[in-house]
Amino acid sequence: IRQVMKNDPKIGSAVGPFTLQTPDRRTVELPADSDTAFVGLLFVQDCPSCGVRSDIEAAQKLQDMAPDKLRVYVVMVGTDSATAAAYWSAQGFRAPLLVDADGAVAKSMNALFLPRGYVLHRSGRLEYVTRYREPHELVFAQVTRILEAGGSAP
């Protein structure tokens, strides 16, 4: 995993824009289409046994921390819109769901192991990348610092 993480995009670098789909197949371009200064992306798979529920619930809590500054999207990788929507509905999640059916966006962000989280400024500047199985408390602290400072990158 450390070898994979060596290829992560660098904090402060420009990433995106990314074109993803909502479960009802509308196109969303991020981070430009965001109505907040910061966008969170959590890439996951439809894998109930992978512990993804706690990561999605953490993403929802992160969204609730500063809804006027941060919009967190969960991006389901490698599944079609209908399957993703059915899974989402059955689980009762409330975070906004997007679909990366072919995994192209996840690959471009080096999200080769999942779940994987990122925070972007609306301008497309990368502010934060989670590490492998990083504790939610650490992620919350880092993101809070970024939001309070108006960014982490120079």
Asked whether the predicted pLDDT for residue 24 surpasses 70, the reply is yes
pLDDT computed for residue 130 by the predictor: 86
- Who has greater pLDDT, 16 or 132? 16
- DSSP 3-state assignment of 24? coil
- Mean pLDDT, the chain, whole residue set: 86
pLDDT computed for residue 149 by the predictor: 87
Q: pTM of this prediction?
A: 0.87
Asked whether the predicted pLDDT for residue 71 surpasses 70, the reply is yes
Question: Cβ contacts of residue 29 below 8 Å, gap of 6+?
Answer: 17, 18, 19, 20
Tell me the pLDDT tens digit for each residue of 85-115: 888 888 888 888 999 999 999 999 988 777 8
| 80's tokens | 């079609």
| 72's tokens | 């967190």
Length of the chain: 154
Tell me the pLDDT tens digit for each residue of 112-138: 777 888 999 989 999 998 877 778 888
DSSP per-residue string spanning 60-83: HHHHHH-TTTEEEEEEEESS-HHH
Helix (H) or strand (E) holding 140: helix 136-149
pLDDT computed for residue 47 by the predictor: 65
**pLDDT-based confidence at 154, cuts 50/70/90?**
very low
**pLDDT-based confidence at 48, cuts 50/70/90?**
low
What type of residue sits at position 139? V
